[in-house]
Structure 1
Amino acid sequence: MDDIPLSTQLGALCVLLVLSGFFSMAETAMMASNRFRLKAGAQGGSRGAKLAVELLAQTDKLLGVILLFNNLINAAAATLTGVIAVQLFGEGEMALGVGTLLITFLILVFSEITPKVVGAGYANAIAPVVAFVLAPLLKVFYPVVWTVNLFVSGLLRITRLRPGNQEDGQSLSADELRALMTESGHFIPAAHRRILINLFELEDVTVEDVMTPRNQIEAIDLEQPLETIQHQIATSHHGRVPVFEGDLDRVLGVLPQRRVVSALSAGELDQDEIRSLLTKPYFVPSATPLYSQIQFFQENRQRLALVVNEYGEVEGLVTLEDIIEEIVGKFTTGLPGSAQTLGWSEDGTVIVEGGRSLRELNGKLGLNLPLDGPKTLNGLVLEHLQDIPESGLSVRIGNVAMEILHTEDRMVRSVRLFRPADAI
């Protein structure tokens, strides 16, 4: 080494530091890269991404080849630094001390910290590139890496440590997927992201949360006069209408509107004709999760179900459209006379019906009203006050201030809500 010019030795040291930095950056980039994005790139035809995926599938061998070269290079750099220090400062403890401090500083700055920061910051871009270098190295030096890993495996057996399955570490739970969707940013449009998040929440939402309440169901009572029934059918905006006799709990069936058009036009529609056109009613428990209900609709080839409680009493009605709206949001079109879209006015208030769903109010107004009890605003107010309030009464539930505008028939008909500071 003494015969080699000092400039050549310094150049060799710089090369060693660059190579060490490359392997440090490669290690960080490969470990920090998004494996799902790499798999997507591999499926899209990227050879670098495909090589990176293959390397990450054998992490022990990947780390083996990286650390093998990294440690060899660092050891060579330390030795070369000692030789240079002796030439510059002479032999002695002072020269070795200076050399040790110098190489430690150079490795930390140029071979460890800086490359690792770069690798972590641009992991997804760097990983497919360095894979072209690491894959051939692993093939050539596979015997050496295999031997080293053999000792590592033996040491793990002695210490009774069992590394987890690599595939398990790459799988995501429902909560992790939900967080991934929430933080996807500009990669997924906001509307699509909202739909995906709603899908994850279907297991936590029951048909009771989205059903039309009993008192709002449009149904036909066969005990009513024929003229009343005919007028109700003629003016109905629903494709299927439940038919009962005397009491809604005595449901006879569901009347498809398209089947009665011709009879109604000819003036031949009567109670007996209606009975003959009814289809069998379909009942579901109120606690059925929406995800399960979609499957039930598909298996039973139904689009409408009557929701019953534990006593068999009809609590409401749920349709396939109700579940779809829970996923994609309310449709822009609605029935004539339906309520307008919810939204805060300029003065920070909004007037809503007492029968509005709490889930709908939370979603559209950015509120945090409790959902573990009553499902409607009317029910929430009555439960909170434990009494039927009079018009003009003001109350605060959670952080939401509200004013009762109108009470009728033992129900809160309309409420003015005041926007809280943390509302979206």
Structure 2
Amino acid sequence: MTLTQSLLIIAILIATSAFFSLAEISLAASRRLRLRQMADEGDARAERVLRIQEQPGHYFTVVQIGLNAVAILGGVVGEGSLSPYFARLFELWFTVETAQTAAFLASFVTIIAVFLVFADLFPKRLGMNDPERLAMRMVGPMQLLITVLKPLVWLFTQCTDLLFKLLGMPMQRDDKITSADILAMTEAGARAGVLALREQQVIANVFELDTRLVSSVMTSRDRIAWFQKDDPEAVLRARIVAEPFSAYPVCEGDIDHVLGYVDAKDMFQRVLSGQPLAFGQGLPLHKALIIPDRLSLTEVLEQFQQAHEDFAIIVNEYALVVGVITLNDVMSTVMGDLVGVQDEEQQIVRRDENSWLIDGVTPIQDVQRALDIDELPHADEYETLAGFLMVMLRRVPKRTDSVSWGGFTFEVMDVDSHRIDQVMVTRGGAVAATPAAGA
């Protein structure tokens, strides 16, 4: 066999090996979501790739048969064709025996290098660039090879399946996509510039709805503006001016006996039309949606949808009112700093690079986001910054009490009737949780 013929055979073997390498990496790297989208758009090849991904045993068996056969043939042809020429070259400096050994090693290294670059590294990097498109091009020829090599494929597949069963490993690929997977993809998209940082944050906030309790965003009991059913018009007008909200609970006797709620739009319309503001004179009283305080924000949205309401009264296990929540409160959580900027500025005020003034009722998730803290201790025992301080101190905090954790110091600045109003957070506290001397 002449050198030209040998080199031509080696080139064919390299191309064949590159084909199998490309077929292997393109199938493994293809994203099912992208393939499903293509299949839904009418591309039959994408549907075929999806079916192979569900049971890829035969496909990869053919790939390995091809790769190993080519590797063996390449070694035989390459060593036999190149060794004589390397031997003649090395005989100029070495003895015949030494030249033969050096020629064999040179042929071996040359063939390995050529196959490694052109039959493995290059096709695999090429396949990673656009795996779905390449997988759809490869699926036809590969299915033909699966049919042609069916006896061998069956034999090797049965042997492999037997090993999987003996080891107790799953036979099919698990393609379940979790919320963590989606968040990881959006973070990667934000880093790559495909998604804006605010868009990525909104997506993260949507998944956070399932873990945040309603109590983390509600208007707490002591901040609720409510009416007595028999309040005169002057009291109603004064309360609206002092505390403007979209809806007001209407109670009998005290706040724990809720009769319903009145919509601010109804009151506004009656004022403009000159009608009296009195519940006994036509001011509509709506039935209040009552929800427990242990619901997640996702469950709250479901309750709003089922009841066709956007305002709810929150009660605890003792049927005592602990707060109110509106649809706007939930959506503000989703949108983050895109909406509700004034409220956020009131709750979390950054004084300088290393200090923040934070309201005690601020949801702990917002505090973590503002301070860039991944985790806090005993996270399942509280929902607000005030709750964090109570858990860490194991008592109701007093003014000047402080707690250090994760490089931050949390100092109570103001307490009103056992309620923590303001907390000063400074960067530079101890790494472990250590209540200050005042604690």
TM band (smaller chain)? 0.7 to 0.9
Q: Does 1:170 align with 2:175?
A: yes
**Cα distance change on mapping 1:31 and 1:43 into 2, 3 Å:** same
Q: Does 1:127 align with 2:131?
A: yes
Q: Does 1:321 align with 2:328?
A: yes
Letter aligned with residue 419 of structure 1: R
CA contact (8 A) 1:38 1:124 kept: no
Letter aligned with residue 255 of structure 1: V
Structure 2 residue aligned with 1:351, among 357, 370, 380? 357
SS at match of 2:10: helix
**Cα distance change on mapping 1:285 and 1:165 into 2, 3 Å:** farther
Write the distance in 1 (CA, Å) between the matches of 2:114 and 2:349.
Answer: 56
Letter aligned with residue 193 of structure 1: Q
SS at match of 1:152: helix
**Cα distance change on mapping 1:37 and 1:323 into 2, 3 Å:** same
Deviates more, 1:383-392 or 1:62-71: 383-392
Q: Does 1:215 align with 2:222?
A: yes
Write the distance in 2 (CA, Å) between the matches of 1:226 and 1:86.
Answer: 106
Q: Does 1:297 align with 2:304?
A: yes
Write the distance in 2 (CA, Å) between the matches of 1:63 and 1:334.
Answer: 55
SS at match of 2:277: coil
- 2:64 aligns with 67
Write the distance in 1 (CA, Å) between the matches of 2:46 and 2:33.
Answer: 10
- 1:381 aligns with 389
After superposition, the CA RMSD in angstroms is 3.8
CA contact (8 A) 1:39 1:49 kept: yes
- Structure 1, unaligned stretches of length 5 or more? none
Q: Does 1:270 align with 2:275?
A: no
**Cα distance change on mapping 1:117 and 1:9 into 2, 3 Å:** closer
CA contact (8 A) 1:207 1:287 kept: yes
SS at match of 1:243: strand
Letter aligned with residue 404 of structure 1: V
Letter aligned with residue 205 of structure 1: R
Write the distance in 1 (CA, Å) between the matches of 2:146 and 2:386.
Answer: 71
- 2:413 aligns with 405
**Cα distance change on mapping 1:264 and 1:236 into 2, 3 Å:** farther
Deviates more, 1:219-228 or 1:251-260: 219-228
Under a length normalisation based on structure 2, what TM-score does the superposition of the two structures give? 0.79
The alpha carbon displacement at 1:292 in A equals 1.8
Write the distance in 2 (CA, Å) between the matches of 1:33 and 1:93.
Answer: 51
Deviates more, 1:157-166 or 1:254-263: 157-166
Structure 1 residue aligned with 2:247, among 240, 248, 253? 240
Letter aligned with residue 251 of structure 2: F
SS at match of 1:378: helix
Structure 2 residue aligned with 1:144, among 135, 148, 159? 148
Identity of aligned residues (%): 20
1:332-376 alpha-carbon deviations (Å, 9 max, x no partner): 4577x9854735333521222233222222223324555423333
Q: Does 1:203 align with 2:203?
A: no
The alpha carbon displacement at 1:176 in A equals 2.6
CA contact (8 A) 2:83 2:107 kept: no
Letter aligned with residue 20 of structure 2: F
Deviates more, 1:379-388 or 1:291-300: 379-388
CA contact (8 A) 1:55 1:131 kept: no
**Cα distance change on mapping 1:26 and 1:261 into 2, 3 Å:** closer
Write the distance in 2 (CA, Å) between the matches of 1:317 and 1:103.
Answer: 80
**Cα distance change on mapping 1:397 and 1:341 into 2, 3 Å:** same
The alpha carbon displacement at 1:238 in A equals 2.1
Write the distance in 1 (CA, Å) between the matches of 2:218 and 2:267.
Answer: 26
The alpha carbon displacement at 1:172 in A equals 1.6
Write the distance in 2 (CA, Å) between the matches of 1:419 and 1:22.
Answer: 57
Aligned residue runs from structure 1 range 108-127, under 5 A: 108-112=112-116, 115-125=119-129, 127=131
- Total equivalences in the alignment: 416
The alpha carbon displacement at 1:304 in A equals 1.0
The alpha carbon displacement at 1:87 in A equals 5.2
The alpha carbon displacement at 1:154 in A equals 3.5
**Cα distance change on mapping 1:340 and 1:42 into 2, 3 Å:** same
Write the distance in 2 (CA, Å) between the matches of 1:60 and 1:96.
Answer: 43
**Cα distance change on mapping 1:416 and 1:299 into 2, 3 Å:** same
CA contact (8 A) 1:222 1:245 kept: yes
1:57-98 alpha-carbon deviations (Å, 9 max, x no partner): 5523432443343333333323323543675669x9999977
Write the distance in 1 (CA, Å) between the matches of 2:79 and 2:268.
Answer: 99
CA contact (8 A) 2:311 2:327 kept: yes
SS at match of 1:148: helix
Q: Does 1:282 align with 2:286?
A: no
SS at match of 1:141: helix
SS at match of 2:149: helix
Write the distance in 2 (CA, Å) between the matches of 1:76 and 1:31.
Answer: 26
**Cα distance change on mapping 1:70 and 1:94 into 2, 3 Å:** farther
